[in-house]
Amino acid sequence: MLAVVATPTTTWYLLLAALLFSIGVVGVLVRRNPLVMFMCIELMLNAVNLSFVALAKKLGDIGGQTTVFFVMVVAAAEVVVGLGIIVSILRRRPTATADDIAELKG
């Protein structure tokens, strides 16, 4: 008996990226914990990266992969700064929500 193995197409990757992006959007809109919101934003960035790479592969263009590289560099810098701020706030006030952090604007 031969097993039929389906190779993933670009459509599969785009559907997965849409699903991941949707999960991230729902997480940002529903949750009030800043750390969870931050992780959902990172999930949305990775979903966009997946769609860029899938489309770059389909079109045979390296531009999408180059864009992903720069997005990952910016996301790493965001994690360093943003996560440090969020963790320092949550250490002082463990029950802080996104509404409490919004009051820091001044």
Query: What CATH number should be reported for the domain holding residue 97?
Result: 1.10.287.3510
Q: Please give the pLDDT value at position 13.
A: 95
What average pLDDT does range 1-12 have in this prediction? 82
19-63 pLDDT, tens per residue? 999 999 999 999 988 889 989 999 999 999 999 999 999 999 999
pLDDT band at 106 (very low <50, low <70, confident <90, very high): low
**Phi, psi (deg, nearest 5) at residue 104:** -75, -5
Whether 38 maps to a domain, the answer reads yes
Whether 3 maps to a domain, the answer reads no
Whether 27 maps to a domain, the answer reads yes
Whether 64 maps to a domain, the answer reads yes
Range of the domain at 75: 10-105
Whether 5 maps to a domain, the answer reads no
- Domain count within the chain: 1
Token readout for 46 is 């990775």
For the chain, what percent of residues have pLDDT higher than 70?
95
Whether 19 maps to a domain, the answer reads yes
Whether 26 maps to a domain, the answer reads yes
Whether 78 maps to a domain, the answer reads yes
Instruction: Give this prediction's pTM.
Output: 0.82
The candidate with the shortest Cα–Cα distance to 34, out of 103, 104, 106, 99, is: 99
Token readout for 21 is 């992006």
Is pLDDT above 90 for 6?
no
Is pLDDT above 80 for 1?
no
What average pLDDT does range 82-106 have in this prediction? 81
Contact 3, 32 (CB under 8 A): no
